Every structure is written in structure tokens, then in C-alpha cells.
Amino acid sequence: MFKKVLIANRGEIALRIMRAAKELKIPVVTIHSDADISALHVLLSPESYHLEGVTPSETYLNIDKIIEIAKKSGADAIHPGYGFLSENEKFAKACEENGITFIGPSPSSMKAMGDKLRARELAKKAGVPVIPGTEKPITSLEEAKAFANEVGYPIILKAPAGGGGRGMRLVKSEDELKNSIESAKRESLGAFGDDRIYIEKYLEEPHHIEIQVVADKFGNTFHLFERECSIQRRHQKVIEESPSPFIDNKLRLEIARNGVKIAKAVGYFNAGTIEFLVDKYKKFYFLEMNTRLQVEHPVTELVTGIDIVKAQFKIAAGEKLDWKQENIKQSGHAIEARIYAEDVLNNFNPSPGKIVGLINPSNPGTRIDTGVYQGYTIPIYYDSMIAKLLSYGETREEAINRMLVALNEYRLAGVKNNIVFHKIVMESKNFLEGKYSTNFLNEFDYVSEIKKIRNENIKNVILAASLTYKMMEKDIKSVDEREKSRWKTSGRIESIYKNSFRLLY
């Protein structure tokens, strides 16, 4: 095993990796930016190095500095987590050149899958169905029009280098095409330094179903079944579950086999995810491959009992996986709700700030992976996901009920967040029945539901506050003036706050 591992990430994922390393008795070193000096991954890390600056490029994306710290601290391995440098082929190469093990796949499979067009070509060659689309980036408006007319609208524009929904545009008719291409190109150039755009047929009411694969360096490739990730906002996942309520066992195994086929075709090792879209006729198509650990990996850990992060360490250290595919079982049901500091009613815009009150839920079958604590200020510079709340049950119903118990007890005060949003999704008819596609949020009036709950809460808070105030006034009458002002600014005010907090999300 490794002498020491450097974790090139922050937040909940840095903690998740740190804990796996601690279990494996591997010493850990972390890094932090100016904005993360008091972050939990730093407080709980035995050794942490400061990177000057706050922007990702100065800090968590700074390849030279990170390699330098790894060497200085004696780390012989780096885990990149997800996001940041996790799919950066140059970084994986830099690790290799400096004699440091990159805990992830080879730079060549990262490269092959890092470009969506190349990945589609590879999938096709491996005999896996891909969504109808252009084979190359489009070079003119005429070419785009011709392809769109051939497959029919709607279509979706995509950046080959894309990720996080950037450079992606849904186009419903020809009059939107010119402007959409221009804005997709602009966005892609800004985000990836590459303005190439290609077209895919837009599948209506599809399901996002992905296969977790884990492979060692000896050619043993396993699948850990699927995750259904169709509850998305702005084409980005917010709720994931396993098993998918949409597919039967036969289809599940067929998609999984195709996932393994793709992983084998790129000589993949370590943990990776092959994403598919499944249309309403249950036809599946390769979407893309993520050559890293996914945010939603705990969903799979809960249903399979396999610790994916520990497996990553072992594979990277050159160990052989002595697993048997037929012994890997998907049992029970797991759901993940991503908790974001965001303003749901304002297009889910990030809403960082100080967490003034926090109660984390903890009931049977609940797992919470989080990087925040009461009093912590969420920085504005990074992703606004602050926790992943997971529930596990023997059945889907039990997992949903446990999730609801947890969401109802979860208190996160001081920043706008999506806890109430998750609650109403869990209680919605379509979710309860497991009948939803990636269209779910377009068809569900979550705004009115949230407003209803919010109005109720505000009423309760005002009631609690006015009751407490009345009690305070009564008490104050019996004490002298000096006492009065002291009470006003200390305990009594605090009790108003506490009562309010009890009712607020």
C-alpha cells in the first residue's frame, strides 16, 4: 500500500477519501485554499498544506503546486476526488512522471473518454448503441440545419469537451438554431477553451441510467449495477437511486453488460461510470463515460456493500480484485438527495453564506456525507453542494420513508437550501410511483408546493416569535432597568431565535 496519500480536493469528497485512507492505515495529507482554512477537511486532516489564493486555477487546479506539495510531504499517491483535476489527463501524466501514483484510470483512457465525440465513436465500434448524432463538430449553419431536418427537432447541441451541462443547448425549432449555436460556442469556449459543437437527437422523456464499473489492472472488470439519475435540474442530477424503478432485471443486466464492454474497450482500470439514456420504449443509448469517482457513488455502496473508494486505493496499489461478478448483489434500495446551498425559487442559483444553525439527521438507514458544520461559511468560489443525504431500506418504500424522516429533521439555517425541495419531490405522486423521466421537474409545479410550505413556516415563526416576546415582556416588568437591557440582548433574544430555528428549514 501507499506511504502517504495527498487528497487533491476539498469538501465532503475530501473527507470521504480521507476516511477510507484512515481505514486502510494510509497517512493523509490535504491541501486548502485561502477560503478553506477552516474547512472541515482541513480541521480533520492530520496534515494540510496551504495554497495561496482562492480561485480553482490558483489552488485545486494548480498542477505544479500540488505535485510540489506531494513531493515535499512524502506522498507517493494522489487521489483527485471528483471535479477539479479528476479527469485531467495532463495531471495524471504529471503524477506518473514524478513517480506518484494517480488513484484513477490511465491517462490514455481518460483521453479517449474525455472527448464526447471520440467516446461515441469508441462505443459504436464496441457495438454499443449511441444516440443519433453528428460524427464530427459542425462547421456551418447549413450543415446543422440539414442534420436537424434529417433526425427531426428537438435536437441538442453539445460541446465535445463538455461537462456540468456547459455548452449544451436544447433546440426545438430551426429559428432557434443560429442563436443557440452561437451561444453554445461562446459558453464552450469560455469553459473549455474549445468552441467545437456537435449535434445529437434530443430524446424525449428519457431516463438517465448509469452503470458503475470497477476494474483492476489485470483485466478483471466488474459492474456494480445501475443508478437511476433522472431527477435533474438544468440537466444536472439532484436525486439518484438504485435500483432504477424503470427497468426490469433483463434490461438492467443488458445495459450493465454494455457498460462493461465499453470499459474493456478502453482498457479501463479503477472506478468509472458509463452513462446511458433509456428512452420511453426502453431502448438504451450510450451517453458518455466519466473516468472518475462519481458524486453519487454511495448509492451503489449501500446496495452492494462494496466500499468503492477503498477499492480504488487497492487497484491503484496494484492489487488484484478477487471478486466474482455473480457474487456481487444489488440488495435493498438506496436513494441520495444532494443538499445544495441554492435558491430553488430563483432557478436553483447558488446561495453560499454562513451556516448559523445545523442539525444533521441520523436515523436508521441514513448516511450523510458532508463537509460543513455550524458556524462554517460556505465560500463563494466552489460548488455549492454541501452534503449528500442517503437513505437505505429493504424496499424502495422504506428508503423513501427513511429519507422523509431525515429530511424532516434536517435543519440548515442561514443559507438558502434545497431541503424542502427534496421533501416535496419525495412526497410527489410520480416519484412515489417511480414514474419519472428527466422531464420530471418540467412537469411538476415544485414552486407552488415550496411556496405553500414556506408561507406556513413563516406564519409559525411569527407566532413563535410573538409568543416568546410576550413572555419576555411579562418577565421584564418584574426586573429593574439594567437587568432589562441585559435580558434583551442575551437569553431572551436567543430563545426567540431558537423557537424560530425549530420551525425553519
Active site residues per annotation: 292
Q: What DSSP assignment string belongs to 376-404?
A: PBPPSSS--EEEEEEEEESSHHHHHHHHH
* Minimal distance, residue 171 CB to ligand ADP, in Å: 11
Q: What is the DSSP letter of 354?
A: B
Return the closest-CA partner of residue 38 out of 13, 60, 17, 11: 11
Nearer to ligand ADP, 290 or 312 (CB): 290
* Minimal distance, residue 204 CB to ligand ADP, in Å: 7
C-beta contacts of 40-44 below 8 A and 24+ residues apart: 40/15, 40/370, 40/371, 40/372, 40/373, 40/376, 41/7, 41/9, 41/10, 41/11, 41/14, 41/15, 41/371, 44/15, 44/18
Nearer to ligand ADP, 113 or 203 (CB): 203
Return the closest-CA partner of residue 410 out of 347, 368, 454: 368
Q: How many CB atoms lie within 10 A of CB 308?
A: 20
Return the closest-CA partner of residue 386 out of 40, 43, 75, 52: 40
Nearer to ligand ADP, 76 or 200 (CB): 200
Return the closest-CA partner of residue 94 out of 83, 102, 86: 102
* Minimal distance, residue 102 CB to ligand ADP, in Å: 21
Nearer to ligand ADP, 168 or 302 (CB): 168
* Minimal distance, residue 58 CB to ligand ADP, in Å: 24
* Minimal distance, residue 386 CB to ligand ADP, in Å: 20
C-beta contacts of 441-447 below 8 A and 24+ residues apart: 441/231, 441/232, 441/233, 446/344, 446/421, 447/345
Angle at 94 between CA 90 and CA 99, to 5 degrees: 150
CA distance 230 to 207: 5
Specify whether the CB–CB gap between 444 and 430 falls below 8 A.
yes
Alpha helix stretches (DSSP H) within 341-445: 396-409, 419-427, 429-432, 440-443
* Minimal distance, residue 416 CB to ligand ADP, in Å: 24
Nearer to ligand ADP, 168 or 211 (CB): 168
* Minimal distance, residue 251 CB to ligand ADP, in Å: 18
Q: What DSSP assignment string belongs to 133-154?
A: B-SS---SHHHHHHHHHHH-S-
Nearer to ligand ADP, 77 or 144 (CB): 144
CA distance 210 to 212: 7
Nearer to ligand ADP, 241 or 275 (CB): 275
* Minimal distance, residue 170 CB to ligand ADP, in Å: 8
Nearer to ligand ADP, 281 or 482 (CB): 281
Q: How many helices (H) and strands (E) does the chain have?
A: 18, 20
Residues that bind ligand ADP (CB under 6 A): 131, 156, 162-165, 168, 200, 202-203, 206, 208, 232, 235, 275, 277, 287-288, 438
Angle at 10 between CA 9 and CA 14, to 5 degrees: 75
By the 10 Å C-beta count (0-12 exposed, 13-18 middle, 19+ buried), 347 is classed as exposed
